[in-house]
């Protein structure tokens, strides 16, 4: 029992890493919602609007942690879309207990996103840098990059509210800009 208490005390005094600090700050930028049918869990969704500043901070936190930034096709895709203009892309994480059914691109399951994006690209769900950029409650979520065009005046068109739904339910996510 004394050894357990000593181990807990050591963990409590452990310095917080730069990646932990980054992830904690990112959690304030993510909105999450879940849908329950009576007491039964149906699905949860989370959304986040990535910024170039956040991507640069992620890479700096990784470097400060003592590692070079790893190869990440997911982060490369997010960075490419984010460079096209602020507010034109949204990352959505989707979780349901039947993993294979949590596919936003699968219209046969009744999945829809409103307003409708121009593209929906699935990102690698096991990508550690992506999970650090968008830390959510459930580690088994699937991640998607949604892109929106600029309007004819060149203004950003990513929505302020995103609705994610399937045939049975929907959640509304108010995005932080």
DSSP structure string for 75-143: HHHHHHHHHT-TTSEEEEEEE-SSGGG--TT-GGGT-EEESPPSEEEEE-TT-HHHHHHS--S-TT-EE
Torsion-angle region of residue 172: left (phi > 0), alpha (psi -120 to 50) or beta? beta
pLDDT in tens, 18-59: 888 998 898 888 888 888 877 777 888 999 888 999 999 999
pLDDT in tens, 120-135: 999 876 788 888 888 8
**Rg from Cα positions in the chain:** 18
pTM more than 0.85: no
Of 102-106, 162-166, 173-177, the range with the lowest mean pLDDT is: 173-177
| 11: confidence class by pLDDT, cuts 50, 70, 90 | very low
Q: For residues 75 and 77, give the distance between their C-alpha atoms in angstroms, rounded to a whole number.
A: 5
């Amino acid at each position: 029992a004394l050894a357990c208490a000593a181990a807990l005390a050591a963990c409590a005094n452990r310095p917080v890493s730069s990646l932990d600090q980054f992830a904690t700050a990112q959690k304030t930028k993510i909105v999450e919602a879940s849908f329950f049918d009576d007491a039964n869990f149906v699905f949860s969704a989370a959304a986040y609007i990535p910024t170039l500043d956040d991507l640069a901070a992620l890479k700096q936190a990784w470097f400060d942690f003592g590692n070079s930034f790893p190869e990440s096709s997911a982060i490369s895709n997010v960075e490419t879309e984010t460079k096209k203009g602020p507010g034109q892309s949204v990352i959505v994480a989707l979780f349901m207990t039947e993993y294979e059914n949590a596919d936003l691109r699968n219209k046969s399951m009744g999945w829809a996103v409103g307003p409708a994006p121009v593209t929906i690209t699935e990102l690698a769900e096991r990508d550690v840098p992506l999970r650090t950029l968008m830390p959510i409650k459930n580690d088994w979520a699937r991640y998607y990059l949604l892109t929106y065009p600029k309007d004819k005046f060149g203004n950003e068109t990513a929505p302020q509210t995103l609705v994610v739904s399937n045939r049975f339910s929907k959640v509304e996510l108010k995005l932080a800009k």
